[in-house]
Amino acid sequence: NAGVTQTPKFQVLKTGQSMTLQCAQDMNHNSMYWYRQDPGMGLRLIYYSASEGTTDKGEVPNGYNVSRLNKREFSLRLESAAPSQTSVYFCAGGLTGVNEQYFGPGTRLTVT
Amino acid sequence: KNQVEQSPQSLIILEGKNCTLQCNYTVSPFSNLRWYKQDTGRGPVSLTIMTFSENTKSNGRYTATLDADTKQSSLHITASQLSDSASYICVVSPGSSASKIIFGSGTRLSIRP
């Protein structure tokens, strides 16, 4: 039981490049979330998926897209990376209606 | 505006000493408050959760308190260990939807031998 896994752990992109961050959970969670964590700030919600087949915007969705591929997998895509997207990205899973979340280990992204 | 403020931003204490971290919130309505521990390079892990009617909750050497009237919470760590070095994040939920929860920016705690 790996919990919530994320790939890659580290990534460096040039401005304008695209990439997809992968997240998978084996905890049978209905809900999945993508956050970014920046120095001196709390985690901010980018997108979430309350159930398979649905996605919704969070607090800071601009510049990102998501796909809930199936119940286990929730990916985050940066179509044209910008330096402002340099951050640590966390994926989390949870049961709908219960706001405890289980976080993955994070992806540290640098955009130059 | 719903906000969660934590203090201090950072704290250094000697191993074996106690410490208390503070969290003030202006979130309304209020459903519950959770404290997370985040080790360097890892994701946050839940320590405690308290609802409106609870004013204290313990998890080993960690004790959280909640005063819903003043909208304040504290996390007290007893007999600190080197493994307690981490960021501690206060998280407040206004309802049952996890998409609405608000994270504090955390207190970075360093334990020195």
CA pair distance A104, A22, nearest whole angstrom: 11
pLDDT of residue A85: 98
Q: Which of B23, B1, B33, B13 is nearest to B72 (CA)?
A: B23
pLDDT of residue B101: 87
Mean pLDDT of all residues in chain A?
Answer: 93
Structure tokens at A79: 């179509």
Of chain B, the end-to-end C-alpha distance in Å amounts to: 41
> Hey, which residues does A88 pair with through a beta bridge?
A37, A108
pLDDT of residue A9: 96
Q: Per mean pLDDT, which range of A2-6, A95-99, B16-20 is the poorest?
A: A95-99
CA pair distance A111, A109, nearest whole angstrom: 7
pLDDT of residue B8: 97
pLDDT of residue A98: 66
User: How close B9 comes to chain A (CA, Å)?
Assistant: 9
pLDDT of residue B66: 96
User: Which residue of B35, B99, B105 to mutate against A (max A Cβ within 10 Å)?
Assistant: B99
Nearest Cβ partner of A90 from B43, B104, B105?
Answer: B43
**Mean pLDDT (whole number) for A89-109:** 88
CA pair distance B86, B89, nearest whole angstrom: 10
**Mean pLDDT (whole number) for A66-84:** 96
Q: Which of A30, A23, A24, A20 is nearest to A1 (CA)?
A: A24
Cβ-defined contact of B103 to A44 (cutoff 8 Å): yes
Percent of chain A with pLDDT over 70: 95
CA pair distance A7, A24, nearest whole angstrom: 9
Q: Which helix (H) or strand (E) holds B66?
A: strand B62-67
Cβ-defined contact of B104 to A92 (cutoff 8 Å): no
The torsion angles phi and psi of B100, rounded to 5 degrees, stand at -105, 0
> Hey, which residues does A47 pair with through a beta bridge?
A34, A57
Tens-of-pLDDT digits for all 113 residues of chain B? 889 999 999 999 999 999 999 999 998 888 889 999 999 999 999 999 898 888 999 999 999 999 999 999 999 999 999 999 999 999 998 876 777 889 999 999 999 99
Q: What is the pLDDT of residues A14-49, one digit of tens each?
A: 999 999 999 999 999 999 999 999 988 889 999 999
User: How close A42 comes to chain B (CA, Å)?
Assistant: 4
**Mean pLDDT (whole number) for A70-87:** 97
Indicate whether A96 pLDDT > 90.
no
